Structure 1
Amino acid sequence: MGSIACTPSTAKRSPSATVSTPTATRCSSCPEPIRSCGEICVSNAGFVDEPGRSMRLDQLISGLNVTNATPSVDLASIRVCDVTEDSRTAVPGSLFIARAGTRDQGMHYIEPAIQCGSVAVLTENDSVGHIELPMRSKVVLLGCDDPVRVAAQIAERFYDHPASKLICAGVTGTNGKTTITHLTHQLVEGAGVRCGLIGTVEIDDGRERSRASMTTPPALELSRTLATMHEHDCKAVVMEVSSHALDQHRTGAIRFAATAFTNLTGDHLDYHLTLDHYRSSKAKLFASLTESGLAAINIEDEHAQFMIDACPEGAHVVRCGHDEHLDAWVRVEDESIQGTRMTLHTPLGVFEAKVPVFGAYNAMNTLQSVLMAQEVLTRAGVPEADQHAAIQQELPKLKLPMGRMEHCESVGDDLTVLVDFAHTDDALRSALSGVKRVLRDGAKLWCIFGCGGNRDQTKRPRMGQAVAQFADHIIVSSDNPRTESPSAIIDQVLAGIDPDRRAAVQVQADRATAIHDAILDAQPGDVIVITGKGHETEQILPDGRGGTRTIHFDDREHAGIALRERRMRFPTADARRAGAS
């Protein structure tokens, strides 16, 4: 019997839906129902998740290291209309990929995926022999050595290779990824080239912007998003590429035309366990460069050469920094809390502009953004002269992403309040040293910070030490403690602060109270930096029963409330805008 793609008349796809045994559903092209026992109309089954998108199973896995554990079924007779790793989103016609997660096993969800209509299941070869399919099931069982890597290849194939149709630019490093992707995106779009964006804060698919749930999406979601970008006439995409994503091969099927390395400091060791593994994961981005692709490397980082060594032969490596003998360099001419006048030297030209960012680290972020934008625009066919003119025009108009040195005060306030995502010792050191340099005489620097629970514990004392190095007033509070005791986390932070600086330290585990009290206690002209959560709008707290509870929490909202109270309480306060020059 030949294969026919058909759409069940009542099947729906809902990522948030709970798994339940579906009622019998009829295909619009077939009289047989899809039964809750798992037996399905294999020859006709299919759910067109997106109109017209379907593929024969034999074509979908052709040439991949995948074996068929149910050889009695003709793979050419099966039409796959959806690929998913989440049993809750499985629908009739799905290929369900049962992979091992960091906390759970995909094998546990094979049965509900089949109940929802999956026509095929892909899992590890070692697991195939332990899977019992429902009686009379015609579901195809497939095996491979690495479902995660194969999932990325299948995703690209199912969505018609969207990554190959876009100029793909990726940024990796411990800190700075979000800023560089956003600045690059603005520069490329400012030159008239439609560009997608994928990162920690948001996703821009060329038509709509949406909140991101993670830095780099899983492979299936990533390819689906890239396909949407192509459909929306994007010519390029710039994305943050996290170490988790690289280690899990989420971008394993993508060849990058442009890449950037920001820095590498101790973070995520709860996942990677060692710095070597963390570094090796980062280096995978540069191994995935096209032969002539750009690698914009912050040569001032001690791990820069490791990233350069990972680049393929023929890659265009541009060494970046502040030294004027490098391939590309930036010089800060003058800076204030409102912006930095800088000179940027690149292989394609020199730019002089006042950019609305401050801090040496943001000058470097701007340089790498310009290099990335130049590569994307060159590949998009934009002449060099037009590139230069567009970038020069856009530099003074650049905006940092949400939660990155974001101002909360208004013109009438007498102090500056900034919200920033800095959540490592290196990021705190960069952010606070940048603020310190632009403080007015007599102004004090306040820092409110905490450390995330159930995450890398080794960085907690280092974060305390970094803040104590620059802040005049230190308030140790809670970030997202998750299942850990907030007071235990705070104790680990305090262990890194020199006893001689303890007089400058306040402990307030309640983050809302910490923000409120600092803003009310600060003197006119002071600068308060609230770090750790940035753009986030939730706080994850222990529920007292070994689990967590999530509440709405936005640093910017709490800062705004406290600033309004300050204006009411001190109506005659000096109305100059904060103590940074």
Structure 2
Amino acid sequence: MKNRKKNAAEVISILRKNNVEDIFSDQRLCTNNSAFFAIKGNKYDGNDFIDDAINKGAKVVVTQEDICRSSTSACLCIVENIHETLEKCVHHFYPNIPENVILVTGTNGKTSVVHYIRNFLKHLGYSAASIGTLGCISDHNIKYQSNLTTPSLVDLRQTLHKLAQKNVTHVIIEASSHALQQRRLSNILAKVVVFTSFSPEHLDYHKTVDQYLKDKCIIFTNNCSNDTKIVVHEEVLPKIKDVIKGYDNVIVYGNTGKVKIAIQKSDICGQELLLQCGKTDVVYKTSIIGKHQAHNLLAATIAISQLGADISKLSFLAQQITAPPGRLERIAKNIFVDYAHNEDALKKVLQIVAEVKNMHQKIFLVFGCGGDRDKSKRAKMGVVANQLADEVIITDDNPRNEDPDFIRMAIKSSCPKGTIIPDRKAAIQYAIDTMSDCDILLVAGKGHEKYQIVKENYIPFSDKAIILECINR
């Protein structure tokens, strides 16, 4: 006889009766008095780990599968749609969110814009936190275990609830296309949404560029109200204008129009920027290099202004803010690390370096491509590297479950000037030993990451740490 499937209200009641204190969808995180939602994913099936969750202390197990467990120490709830049930349960258990939510989406630039907004708000005296690729950053020791750009629905709501309890008033969140499509950001209304850029990416997941854009635009239908301020880069606007035409508060930024930026001075040491934000002009003198980072600073400035902050105070603060970890991060005078891991990002960062170098400097590039990801970008990135770098060293990124030699050869096929050195540490050492004191080295692809993924193993590895080790020998 089949079990009657329970609705969300019934599940919430059962959780309460069993004195459940926390909800998890990862059995490894389960604790005493918790509930485990056994979700079937693309790679793993949570139903295979129900016993593990119970052994960890789960008192309630929620599943969509019609399974029969005659003897178990946990209460079993079978539901029609586990995703909708989890969504409602999570919102019931973790209802609090900081008052001001800023969502940042886009193919590139999310981490930088989030980093700049949080730093500016903090320096202006606000209690601010950020959630994204770099984890949860705040003045409080609030962490979650995830390598995702946007954490899972459970991790996100737990984190937001904890931040609100700590009286954090502003939270800035990176909104990835995966998270939007999977409704990880459901029931979160933003005061400000920033759309930084758009170019083909994650086609292994979204399949087509059109679908990728549609999934990005979910942010406007699910996370915006009529009062939400939408800040969009001028290059993105033509792609989404039909989606946002019903919104009154749209601010377009870029090189032209009322909200624009002018680079007055730029070299390898930094740049001086004039930001024209309506009637207010702000001058930034910063060690951060790159036109794209100048635009990211502009996007952050506009977002803050839409929250009522006094941006005239930011000129002095800009001098104190550095690039976010792994985003054209300066490790030594002429050595940089960047997270660029697609064609568009690599092209932009190499163009930036080319613009600030002098005629006697060469650009050395160390990079690879990740395994189990969009294979089409490998040859495209090879073309970019071959065109814009003087010396190219092709190495391993995160090969995951693919043959790393196959990945390297796919890049090499369109990058004849590339030298293949499989070991990433050896590749970095070779570049540093080969370049002159005045040359520029860019190590791209992994940025802030502190690991290298080989098959299922996360092996400790940091581009920044390796560079420092090499130059201090």
Instruction: Give me the TM-score of the superposition, normalised by structure 2.
Output: 0.91
Q: Distance in 2 between matches of 1:139 and 1:97?
A: 12
Contact in 1 for aligned 2:15/2:60 (Cα 8 Å):
no
Contact in 1 for aligned 2:59/2:73 (Cα 8 Å):
no
Query: Is it true that 1:512 corresponds to 2:425 in the alignment?
Result: yes
Match of 1:469 in 2: 387
Q: Distance in 2 between matches of 1:550 and 1:318?
A: 41
Contact in 2 for aligned 1:258/1:375 (Cα 8 Å):
yes
Decide which moves more: 387-396 or 398-407: 387-396
Call closer, same or farther: CA 1:85–1:440 in 2, change over 3 Å: same
Q: 2:136 aligns with which of 179, 183, 203?
A: 203
Q: 2:198 aligns with which of 264, 280, 283?
A: 264
Say which SS state the counterpart of residue 463 (structure 1) adopts. helix
Q: Distance in 2 between matches of 1:111 and 1:486?
A: 36
Match of 1:336 in 2: 267
Deviations 1:522-544 (A, max 9, x none): 12311010101111121123xxx
Query: Is it true that 1:375 corresponds to 2:306 in the alignment?
Result: yes
Deviations 1:269-304 (A, max 9, x none): 222222222212211122211221111111213xx3
Q: Equivalences for 1:415-434 in 2 at 5 Å?
A: 416-434=334-352
Call closer, same or farther: CA 1:512–1:138 in 2, change over 3 Å: closer
What RMSD over aligned residues (CA atoms) do the two structures have, in Å?
Answer: 2.5
Contact in 2 for aligned 1:148/1:250 (Cα 8 Å):
no
Q: 1:151 aligns with which of 71, 86, 109?
A: 86
Say which SS state the counterpart of residue 392 (structure 2) adopts. strand
Cα distance, 1:175 vs structure 2: 0.9
Q: Distance in 2 between matches of 1:311 and 1:206?
A: 35
Contact in 1 for aligned 2:339/2:446 (Cα 8 Å):
yes
Call closer, same or farther: CA 1:469–1:89 in 2, change over 3 Å: same
Match of 1:558 in 2: 466
Amino acid aligned to 1:496: S
Deviations 1:227-261 (A, max 9, x none): 22112221110111111111211111211111111
Deviations 1:102-158 (A, max 9, x none): 21122223344345554433333xx3xx2113348772514133x334423322321
Match of 1:244 in 2: 178
Decide which moves more: 341-350 or 277-286: 341-350
Query: Is it true that 1:83 corresponds to 2:23 in the alignment?
Result: yes
Amino acid aligned to 1:237: V
Deviations 1:367-390 (A, max 9, x none): 1111112223x2xxx5xxxx1232
Q: Distance in 2 between matches of 1:311 and 1:150?
A: 30
Amino acid aligned to 2:323: L
Deviations 1:148-196 (A, max 9, x none): 344233223212x222x42111111111111000001011111111101
Q: Distance in 2 between matches of 1:508 and 1:207?
A: 42
Q: Distance in 2 between matches of 1:152 and 1:524?
A: 55
Call closer, same or farther: CA 1:209–1:137 in 2, change over 3 Å: closer
Q: Say how many residue pairs are matched.
A: 466
Call closer, same or farther: CA 1:142–1:550 in 2, change over 3 Å: closer
Match of 2:3 in 1: none
Match of 1:486 in 2: 404
- Structure whose alpha-carbon radius of gyration is higher: 1
Contact in 2 for aligned 1:69/1:140 (Cα 8 Å):
no
Deviations 1:380-415 (A, max 9, x none): xx5xxxx123223312222111111122226xxxxx
Alignment gaps of 5+ in structure 2: 1-5
Say which SS state the counterpart of residue 144 (structure 1) adopts. coil
Cα distance, 1:315 vs structure 2: 4.7
Give me the identity figure in percent: 27
Q: Distance in 2 between matches of 1:76 and 1:195?
A: 32
Q: 1:349 aligns with which of 261, 271, 280?
A: 280
Decide which moves more: 114-123 or 456-465: 114-123
Q: Equivalences for 1:358-507 in 2 at 5 Å?
A: 358-376=289-307, 378=308, 382=309, 387-409=310-332, 416-497=334-415, 502=416, 504-507=417-420
